[in-house]
Amino acid sequence: RSDIKTQYKLSVRDLKLSDAGIYTCEYGTYQAHTSLHIVNLTISLDGHFLQNEVPELILTQNSSSPLPDLSITLFDSNNNRVTPEIQNRSRQKYKVNLKKLKTMDSGTWVCQIHSDSPLINQNISFAVKVLGFQNPDLERKYAIVDSPVILSWDLNSQKIKWKKGFTGQLNWKQQEGVESHELLNFSITAEGQLHETKKSNNLLFEIPESKPESTIQVKLPKVHFNHSGQYQCQLEYERRHAQSKIELVVMKVSANPAGPLSRGASVTLTCQVSGPLAPNAYLSWEPANGTKMDIKNSKRREVKLEVNISTAGLWSCHLIEDGDKKISFHYHVEEASVWINNVIIGASIGGSLLAFALGCLCIISGVSWQRRRQRAKRMAQARQHLLENKTCQCQQ
């Protein structure tokens, strides 16, 4: 592994720890000595990680003289200093663990080595590739019932030029503790081509044809209230897993009674979300032409809010989180037409008159029946009296 470059230069390739030692150059009776100090840096998993994995660095040194006490400083791909946790340290081997990695940590890292005696100032660069999703670990997506919605996960395999194959799948479940449904699975080739296969028909969803590279997407053309829940995209590489979740929250509004609002009547509007909500999220009903006094807010994390109204118009239900309106459902309460109101009023008056007439008829019938009863009673008394008089005459 050595070459004599010139008459006085020796080149050694692929240095190993065992190459450390004292090298002597002899020229006649003259001898020159030089000490070779070897430092070796290795990174776990050959520098290929999934997001949230913890890399391990091992720095080993070898020298013919007593080993120096090294100080190690690490810088990430953004040139930020990283403070590692030193697990095991000796003069010969330094073993450290780093923080959990994110996809943004991909790039070239630098290990800076320093020693005062002997004087050592050496920078060792090493590559770190973190495969994963550029989405947050848990993302919330809001949708109105019957509207279209697209759920998207962005992989960084193209960005970091990941040349090794991996597989994955997209699962959906409505809530914790229930069975999940596999919607699709995917795989990627060494050339970076993504292949997807639809696996389930229990949801009316589509796989969009046109989308960015290394992006997993599903489209619900008409989302239903029971389509809410957790959608988890998971990838697998060398029996290790990484995942990213999207929580789909669906909002719906209903009115009781449904239909146009007649004069003098009232209606109850109900705004409901599938939940769960963030701790600082709440629902709010707001009229289009109302005041702050007309606004009604729910308590934090409540998933249902009702409001009673007696005037027609536009009402809006907002889902507010951290002061921002994440989603709004606009509901127009129609006023009943004039002829409908007249019909209702006429029906009310007619019903009242009919009830009055029926009452009068009942009273007249009752009085007539009472009179007939009294007349029959008097006639019976008269017949009885007449019979008694005839009996007396016969006895005389």
Q: What is the pLDDT of residue 376?
A: 67
pTM: 0.76
CA 67 and chain centroid, separation: 53
Q: What is the pLDDT of residue 355?
A: 63
Q: What is the pLDDT of residue 341?
A: 42
More confident residue, 376 or 129: 129
Is the pLDDT reported for residue 347 higher than 80?
no
- The DSSP bridge pattern shows strands 138-144 and 120-131 to be unpaired
Q: Which residue has the tokens 């669906």?
A: 250
Q: Is 257-333 assigned to CATH 3.40.50.300?
A: no
Q: Please tell me the distance from the alpha carbon of residue 300 to that of residue 282, in angstroms, as a whole number.
A: 5
Q: What is the pLDDT of residue 387?
A: 62
CATH class given for the domain over 138-249: mainly beta
Quick check: do 138-249 and 257-333 share a fold?
Answer: yes
State the Cα torsion 211-213-214-220 to the nearest 10°: 0
Reported confidence tier of residue 2, pLDDT bands at 50, 70, 90: confident
Is the pLDDT reported for residue 29 higher than 60?
yes
Q: What is the pLDDT of residue 237?
A: 93
Q: What is the mean pLDDT of the chain?
A: 85
Q: What is the pLDDT of residue 351?
A: 57
Q: What is the pLDDT of residue 26?
A: 86
350-393 pLDDT, tens per residue?
A: 555 666 666 666 677 766 667 666 666 667 666 666 666 655 55
Q: What is the pLDDT of residue 378?
A: 66
363 has which bridge partners? Answer: none
Is the pLDDT reported for residue 85 higher than 90?
no
118: cis peptide before it, omega within 30°? yes
Is the pLDDT reported for residue 104 higher than 80?
yes
> What does each C-alpha distance from 225 to 132, 151, 204 come to in angstroms?
30, 16, 13
Q: What is the pLDDT of residue 293?
A: 78
Q: Count Cβ atoms below 10 Å from residue 347 Cβ, excluding itself.
A: 10
CA 37 and chain centroid, separation: 53
Q: What is the pLDDT of residue 352?
A: 58
Q: Where are the domains of the chain?
A: 21-131, 138-249, 257-333
More confident residue, 177 or 149: 149
Q: Please tell me the distance from the alpha carbon of residue 369 to that of residue 366, in angstroms, as a whole number.
A: 5
CATH of domain 21-131: 2.60.40.10
306-346 pLDDT, tens per residue?
A: 999 888 889 999 999 999 999 999 999 888 764 344 444 45
312 has which bridge partners? Answer: none
Q: How many Å is the Cα radius of gyration of the chain?
A: 44
Is the pLDDT reported for residue 220 higher than 90?
yes
Contacts (Cβ under 8 Å, ≥6 apart) of 313: 287, 288, 289, 332, 333
More confident residue, 206 or 275: 206
The continuous run of DSSP H or E covering 386 comes out as: helix 338-395
For residues 222-245, average pLDDT: 94
